[in-house]
Structure 1
Amino acid sequence: MATITELKCAVRETLESRGVLDQLKARIRAEVFSALDEPREPRPQLSHANLLLNELIREYLEFNRYRYTASVLTAESGQPEAPLDRQFLANQLKVSEDASSKSVPLLYGLVSHFLNNGDNGAKVVLRGAAVGHVAPGPDV
């Protein structure tokens, strides 16, 4: 007869091998953050820009298997549980993709573009007006 310790180890190994253990931990962490959230303070409505930014970050996190972090981002930000369609994101960002770029998160492609396509070392000028479309977080 197996001991309790052996049984715990077997269950843990089975859950880990199926990838379920990380999902359960991430879900528990997200629920704890949700429970600790101050229910009287309404969450600020996500601006369109924040929705897109959060989705780019979530896609990156999930690609790299940072599932705990992705679940906490979703819980804290109020981002919809279901990911946004990638083609929708690309259209919103006015990005066109080739077959190879579709295998990695859009954020990789955006960073690669800026690293590799500079005009002879010229810097890209960011305008403050774009920042005005991003709603500040609750702590700002």
Structure 2
Amino acid sequence: MATITELKCAVRETLESRGVLGQLKARIRAEVFSALDDQREPRPPLSHENLLINELIREYLEFNKYKYSASVLAAESGQPEVPLDRQFLANELKVVEDTSSKSVPLLYGLVSHFLSSGDDGGKLFLRGASVQAGPSASNTVPGPDA
């Protein structure tokens, strides 16, 4: 007859081999985080920009098997449980993909584009988002003359 310790080991090994143990741990962490989250302090509304940024980060985390981090991001940010469709995300960002870029997260392609941009070190002028960063922070990025 198996001891309790042997039974625990067998269950753990079975759950690990099926890939379920990690998912359970991630779900438990997300639920603990949710339970500890101070519900008295409301979160700011999830803006369109934050939705897209969070989705880029989630896609990157899941691609790299950072499942715990992805589950906490989703729980903390209020991101929808079901990921956004990649084609929708690409359309929103006005990104055109080739077949090789579809095998990696969009964030890789965006970073690669800016790293390999051959415009002799010219800077990209960014405009402020529609989200306020906080009472003392400005949501605009200084222009080239700043």
TM beyond 0.5: yes
Tell me, in whole angstroms, the C-alpha distance in 2 between the residues paired with 1:71 and 1:4.
Answer: 31
Deviation at 1:7, TM superposition (A): 1.2
Determine whether 1:52 maps to 2:52: yes
CA deviations on 1:11-51 (whole Å, 9 max, x unpaired) are: 11111111100100000000011001112222211010000
Offset, 1:62 = 0.4
| Greater relative contact order (CA < 8 Å, ≥ 6 in sequence) | 1
More helix by share: 1
- Which residue of 130, 133, 136 corresponds with 2:133? 136
User: 1:108 aligns to what SS in structure 2?
Assistant: helix
1:126 is aligned to 126
* Match in the other structure for 2:35: 35
Amino acid at match of 1:93: L
Q: Percent identity?
A: 81
Moved over 6 A (4+): none
CA contact (8 A) 1:46 1:78 kept: yes
- 8 Å CA contact retained: 1:46, 1:135: no
Partner letter of residue 115 of structure 2?
Answer: L
Aligned counterparts, 1:1-140, within 5 A: 1-127=1-127, 129=128, 131=129, 133-136=130-133
Corresponding pairs, count? 135
> What are the Cα deviations for residues 74-122 of structure 1, in whole angstroms up to 9, with x where unaligned?
0000000000010110001000001111111000000010111231232
What are structure 1's unaligned runs of at least 5 residues? none
The CA RMSD measured in Å over matched residues stands at: 1.5
Q: Gapped runs of 5+ residues in structure 2?
A: 138-146
